[in-house]
């Protein structure tokens, strides 16, 4: 019985990255042996055991046989006869198929170390195409390691393209797609995830609403990159640069979905694209069962990002309407996130990445001013019923107007 450190922990160690989790594997062991040593068995699909003290996961070496469609159509076989090489060959990428024994010796039967040096994401074996989720995983790893110079090997891109065209991606559950998408959006280069999926033909299957943006022109004066799909990539890149949250990055992905519906005769203009983007944002969110907080922020950013860009041109009443629509009275922190999305949108244009975005300070200062208006003060004046709401509106507008007048002075 031998124990090995496997997977991402070994890869990250070789890359000089602090590993978040450590996965271990036993070769030549039985469940009974591990239970006798105090390990606790968990998991139904294949034997996984928790260390008696550290609670770190330990799996038995296993093989997998494809028997059905999708990423769940596998039968796992774990036994003492399964070798280290047999277990590692079922893994997705060579850089994830390296093991380290308890003496610190590396076991690399599929040249993962060479691929780390070459900065290549390459599949271990043809069995890669048996699991459609790996198309998304490789794109996510490309997004994670792009800043280190990694790229996907040509032969792996070719295999991913075949998998994208054969219908296997349609068998992925919404939950697993969202899991990969949400993790990819939080990588250091989330735009690379979209680029790789586009390159292999998977984007039109997984995110057809985003895929539809490629080839849609925008006015060059405002968007030097012209192509709306490229603009989304630049926005995601800017979102990572600004260290935005998952909710904000998802909103960036969705904020211009309406541009795919602009009639050809009015291109490259996109008047009304904010409202046109509401339904496709809802459709994407519902299909992937996106968490409510992400959905809400995406819908609000979609509807209001253009208005936020023009904040300093807005009338006081329009700003208060914006505050009402975004429910700033109960969720002021969320309003700042909506502004962050608009800022990344504005800066997510070729050559404009470092352009100041005065709308953010302007609107947040206006909000600070208007928050001084309290309902209790209106009640103290004797107003009742519908009068309360009317007076609250009037005083808020007056407060914002006073703020605007001070900016002009």
pLDDT value for 9: 93
CA distance 5 to 267: 56
In a 13 Å sphere around the CA of 167, the CA atoms on its Cβ side amount to 1
Q: What is the pLDDT of residue 386?
A: 85
Does residue 365 carry a pLDDT above 70? Answer: yes
Task: Report H helices in 166-217.
Answer: 174-185, 190-199, 203-206, 208-211
Range from 27-31, 39-43, 132-136 that averages highest in pLDDT: 132-136
| For residues 386-392, average pLDDT | 88
Alpha helix (H) ranges present in 129-256? 133-145, 154-165, 174-185, 190-199, 203-206, 208-211, 228-241, 246-254
Residue 6, strand partner residues: 23, 99
Percentage of the residues of the chain whose pLDDT score is greater than 70: 96
Does pTM top 0.85 for this prediction?
yes
The 10s digit of each residue's pLDDT in 166-213 is: 998 998 999 999 999 999 999 999 999 999 999 999 999 999 999 999
Please give the backbone phi and psi of residue 152, each rounded to the nearest 5 degrees, phi first. Answer: -85, 135
Assess whether pLDDT exceeds 90 at residue 42: no
CB-CB contact of 232 with 253 (8 Å): yes
pLDDT band at 97 (very low <50, low <70, confident <90, very high): very high
pLDDT confidence of residue 66: 56
Which residue's structure tokens are 């070789």?
14
105-126 tens-digit pLDDT: 999 999 999 999 999 999 999 9
CA–CA dist 237, 80 (Å, integer): 47
Average pLDDT over residues 82-101: 94
Average pLDDT, the chain: 93
Beta bridge partners of residue 65, listed in sequence order: 75
Who has greater pLDDT, 139 or 77?
139
Nearest of 52, 204, 202 to residue 142 by alpha carbon: 202
Residue 235's alpha-carbon distances to 270, 344, 388, in angstroms, are: 18, 6, 42
Decide if pLDDT at 401 tops 80: yes
Query: Tens of pLDDT along 323-333?
Result: 999 999 999 99
pLDDT of residue 295: 98
- Burial grade of 60 (CB within 10 A; 0-12, 13-18, 19 or more): buried
Predicted confidence (pLDDT) at residue 44 exceeds the cutoff of 80:
no
């Amino acid at each position: 019985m031998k124990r090995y450190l496997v997977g991402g922990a070994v890869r990250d160690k070789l890359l000089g990255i602090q590993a978040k989790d450590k996965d271990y594997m036993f070769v030549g062991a039985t469940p009974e042996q591990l239970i006798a040593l105090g390990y606790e068995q968990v998991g139904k699909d294949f034997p996984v055991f928790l260390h008696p003290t550290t609670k770190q996961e330990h799996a038995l070496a296993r093989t997998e046989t494809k028997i059905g469609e999708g990423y769940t159509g596998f039968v796992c076989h774990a036994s003492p006869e399964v070798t280290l090489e047999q277990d590692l060959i079922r893994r997705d990428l060579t850089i994830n198929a390296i093991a380290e024994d308890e003496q610190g010796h590396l076991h690399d039967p599929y040249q993962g170390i060479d691929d780390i040096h070459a900065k290549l994401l390459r599949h271990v074996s043809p069995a890669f195409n048996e699991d459609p989720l790996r198309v998304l995983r490789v794109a996510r790893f490309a997004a994670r390691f792009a800043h280190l110079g990694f790229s996907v090997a040509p032969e792996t891109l070719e295999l991913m393209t075949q998998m994208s065209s054969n219908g296997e991606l349609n068998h992925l559950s919404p939950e697993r797609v969202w899991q990969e998408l949400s993790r990819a959006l939080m990588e250091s280069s989330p735009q690379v995830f979209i680029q790789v999926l586009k390159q292999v033909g998977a984007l039109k299957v997984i995110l057809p609403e985003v895929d539809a943006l490629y080839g849609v022109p925008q006015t060059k004066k405002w968007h030097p990159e012209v192509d709306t799909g490229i603009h989304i990539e630049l926005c995601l890149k800017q979102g990572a640069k600004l260290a935005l949250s998952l909710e904000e990055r998802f909103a960036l992905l969705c904020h211009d979905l309406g541009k795919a519906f602009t009639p050809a005769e009015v291109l490259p203009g996109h008047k009304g694209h904010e409202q046109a983007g509401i339904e496709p944002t809802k459709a994407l969110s519902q299909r992937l069962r996106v968490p409510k907080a992400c959905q809400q922020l995406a819908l609000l950013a979609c509807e209001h990002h253009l208005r936020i860009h023009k904040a300093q041109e807005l009338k006081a009443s329009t700003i208060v309407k914006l505050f009402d629509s975004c429910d700033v009275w109960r969720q002021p922190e969320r309003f700042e996130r909506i502004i962050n999305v608009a800022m990344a949108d504005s800066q997510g244009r070729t050559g404009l990445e470092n352009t100041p975005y005065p709308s953010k300070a302007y609107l947040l200062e206006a909000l600070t001013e208007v928050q001084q208006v309290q309902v209790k003060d209106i009640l103290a004046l004797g107003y009742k019923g519908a009068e309360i709401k009317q007076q609250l509106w009037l005083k808020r507008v007056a407060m914002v107007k006073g703020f605007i007048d001070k900016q002009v002075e």
